Amino acid sequence: MSRATSLVSTEWVQENLSNKNVVFVEVDEDTTLYEKGHIDGAITFHWREDLQDGLIRDLISKEKFEALLSKNGISNDSTVVLYGGNNNWFATYAFWYFKIYGHQDVRLIDGGRKLWELKGLPLVTEVPSRTASRYVAKERDNSIRAFRDQVIASIGIKNIVDVRSPAEFSGELAAPAHLPQEGGQIKGHIPGAKNIPWSKAANEDGTFRSNEELAELYKAAGVDFAKETIAYCRIGERSAFSWFVLHELLDLQNVTNYDGSWTEYGSLVGVPVAVGA
């Protein structure tokens, strides 16, 4: 994986709008954005209704993933191009999801919905109708996913990267500042975690920084690229963004996304927690 195979520019998108093998998928935290306007021909996945099990806290099953993609006319050989608001948080989460289920060709629009809008590029409201396909997913690839016991066993051994804002890391805030602050959950971070906010990997317009800048960012914060790395945030979306940076752009192996993240860790009985910068 590399920047060349994982990332496309807005210019590339404009050139491929009528490419039948390309399926554009918008994934947003604010799910009303798609209805207000989206890239011509794009479909949308709802991060909760489509991508969460709903009964238990987990990814949807292989069968449900196959049904979702089949219903939306995505084939095993489709080039899936993801984008979204919030600097592509939920789009990178969906990217990670497609990789979990082994999709071959999945890419992300650099800058996402924000850059598209800041450039004044056209959005439409028509929802495309797509012919259903028969999608066959692979078994889950858990080599890019971390679970709580692995995280606890990794303290002081692997790189643990907390990608939340400094205020969440230190324990000042319990959630990002655009959401109401939740009570009841312990505040703080996993001991030994390096706080490298996801936002440091992005430019103001939502595009990713250069590979040289990204490598320097993580090295300067104390991440040892020779070791395995676990990224986490609050619910696993922002850490999917940083997972994308480390695993796809910097092409590092052994990088996992802990999607249980702080809402799980901060609720566990008896695990070590640190506060402060």
Partner 1 sequence: MRTCGATPGGPDLAGVDLANQTVIQGAVLRGGVSDGVPNGAPVGNAYVRLLDSNGEFTAEVPTNSEGQFRFFAAPGSWTVVVLAHGAREEVKVQAQKGTPIDLVIHI
Catalytic residue set:
233
Q: Which stretch binds partner 1 (CB under 8 A): 141-149, 197-205, 215-223, 261-269?
A: 197-205
With binding defined as CB under 8 A, does residue 180 bind partner 1? yes
For residue 27, what is the DSSP state? E
Q: Which of 13, 23, 33, 190 binds partner 1 (CB under 8 A)?
A: 33
Binding flag, residue 200, partner 1 (CB under 8 A): yes
Which among 64-72, 85-93, 151-159, 245-253 is the span making contact with partner 1, rule CB under 8 A?
85-93
* DSSP code of residue 67: H
Question: Applying CB under 8 A, which part among 96-104, 125-133, 152-160, 165-173 lies near partner 1?
Answer: 165-173
What is residue 161's three-state secondary structure?
strand
Instruction: Build a one-symbol-per-residue string for 220-249: x at contacts with partner 1 by CB under 8 A, - elsewhere.
Output: ------------------------------
Q: Within 13 Å and on the Cβ side, how many CA atoms surround 58?
A: 10
Q: What is the chain's alpha carbon radius of gyration, rounded to the nearest angstrom?
A: 18
The alpha-helical segments, DSSP class H, found in the chain are: 3-6, 10-15, 33-36, 62-71, 85-100, 112-118, 148-154, 166-170, 211-220, 238-243, 261-265
Under rule CB under 8 A, residue 172 binds partner 1? yes
> Which residues from 116-135 bind partner 1, rule CB under 8 A?
117-120
Nearest to 108 by CA among 194, 6, 11: 6
Close Cβ partners of 238 (under 8 Å, ≥ 6 residues apart)? 89, 163, 164, 198
Cβ–Cβ under 8 Å, residues 189 and 162? yes
Q: How many angstroms separate the CA atoms of 183 and 180, rounded?
A: 10
Q: Which of 41, 85, 111, 236 binds partner 1 (CB under 8 A)?
A: 85
Say how many residues touch partner 1, by CB under 8 A. 28
Phi, psi torsion values for 66, nearest 5 degrees = -60, -40
Please, what is the minimum distance in Å from the beta carbon of residue 11 to partner 1? Answer: 17
Residue nearer to partner 1 on the CB measure, 9 or 61 = 9
Residue 166 binding partner 1, by CB under 8 A: yes
User: What is the CB neighbour count within 10 angstroms for residue 102?
Assistant: 14
Query: Is residue 3 close enough to count as binding partner 1 by CB under 8 A?
Result: no
Query: Minimum Å distance from CB 230 to partner 1?
Result: 22
- Per CB under 8 A, does 219 bind partner 1? no
Chain positions contacting partner 1, by CB under 8 A: 30, 33, 36, 85-87, 114, 117-120, 165-167, 172-173, 175-181, 197, 199-200, 204-205
